[in-house]
Amino acid sequence: MSEDKKSFQQIATSTLVPERRVGVKLYLRTGLDRYVLFINESAVLSSGKIEQLYSNNVKHLYLDTSDRPGYLSYIKGNLSAILDNPELTANDKASIIYDTAKDITENLFSQPSTENIDQTRNLVDCMIDSISQSPETSNLMMMITNQDYYTYTHSINVGIYAVSMTRKILPGISENALKTLGLGFFLHDLGKAQIPGSILNKKGPLNQDEWRKMQEHPTIGAELVRKLGAGTPEIIDIITSHHERYNGTGYPNQLSQKKISLPGRICAFCDVFDALTTKRSYKKALSTFAALKIIKEETPSHFDPELLNPFILLFGGN
């Protein structure tokens, strides 16, 4: 039986976990634009069936593009088991984490809820476990970071950069401590979920009232995570301090130098770098080199001079 009228999308066989139900139809590709049903949505995959695919060197299966949301919820629900699979390449790992992150953070920003924060926490935990097992996953994720700016992709990009930078600066940090900071980095802009879209997406410069409202997002974000039960001191600190500047000209508390916490100073670098290297409707994306040059020029006025080199080295092809 062939199904050649649909639009199909490839998925890695290594994302299949034995004894789990994927919940969507999966197909084998038997020729150019020819697909044959492999399992239906109610089937549970046995390890034998998965082994059969590997022994026949079937590295990819296919799904109907319209079933992608169902496949994503399978991935979300089984993320740590999927990322644990030794058959999964570092490349696949990195793109699975990034794609799942997009889905989870988009939901989080459209509806900040305890459940959506829990999903973000699970994602950050899985991401940090994967990075510790295979450090190249971290470099690969830095390469995927999305160039189109959305608040939710910005959160992921900053989360990825800031976790990498923290590991560089504090090589002895425990995984648990890194997971807590990682969640804080992912949530740094959560307060923007409550800033009107007319201000967030305005093409021209903000007027005084709009700018005042925009500057409330660190405080709003801190209140929000507190209300949602995720307000540990480390997370509140990152959310509150990511717009403080080294010379005391930032907001909301005009803290300067080392009065700004280390994670706050790290987040500031990553936040500005991502804003510069992503494109908006009113500006082009700068190259990594051009963005690093601006950040260098703004150090030490805006950024901690001791962190400049470790930050630049993140992009030095290490």
Binding site residues, Fe ion, CB under 5 A: 189
Measured from the CB atom, is 63 or 222 closer to Fe ion? 222
Residue 74 burial (10 A CB sphere; 0-12, 13-18, 19+): buried
Cβ closest to Fe ion, residue 104 vs residue 250 = 250
- Minimal distance, residue 154 CB to Fe ion, in Å: 8
Cβ proximity to Fe ion, 67 vs 189, nearer residue: 189
Run of H or E including 187: none
Picking from 283, 286, 285, the residue whose alpha carbon sits closest to that of residue 204 is 283
What gap in Å lies between CA 33 and CA 11, rounded to an integer?
A: 16
Closest residue by Cα to residue 260 from 240, 231, 280? 240
Phi, psi for residue 132 in degrees, rounded to 5: -70, -35
Q: How far is the CB of 214 from Fe ion (least distance, A)?
A: 9
* Backbone phi and psi for residue 263, each to the nearest 5 degrees, phi listed first: -60, -35
As measured in angstroms, the least distance from the Cβ of 101 to Fe ion is 18
Cβ of residue 163: shortest distance to Fe ion, in angstroms?
Answer: 17
Nearest residue to Fe ion by CB is 189
Whether a cis peptide bond, with omega within 30° of 0, leads into 252 is yes
- Least distance (Å) between residue 270 CB and Fe ion: 11
Q: How far is the CB of 147 from Fe ion (least distance, A)?
A: 19
Q: Which amino acid is at 177?
A: A
The two three-digit tokens of residue 153, written as one number: 């992709």
Cα–Cα distance measured from residue 98 to residue 156, given in angstroms and rounded to the nearest whole number: 8
Q: Name the minimum Å distance from CB 112 to Fe ion.
A: 15
Pull the structure tokens for residue 312. Answer: 């630049």
Cis peptide before 300 (omega within 30 of 0): yes
Tell me how far, at minimum, the Cβ of 217 lies from Fe ion, in Å: 6
User: Rounded to an integer, what distance in angstroms lies between the CA atom of residue 52 and that of residue 42?
Assistant: 19
Q: In whole angstroms, how far apart are CA 190 and each of 12, 102, 120, 195?
A: 32, 14, 12, 10
Strand residue runs (E) in the chain? 8-12, 26-31, 34-39, 60-64
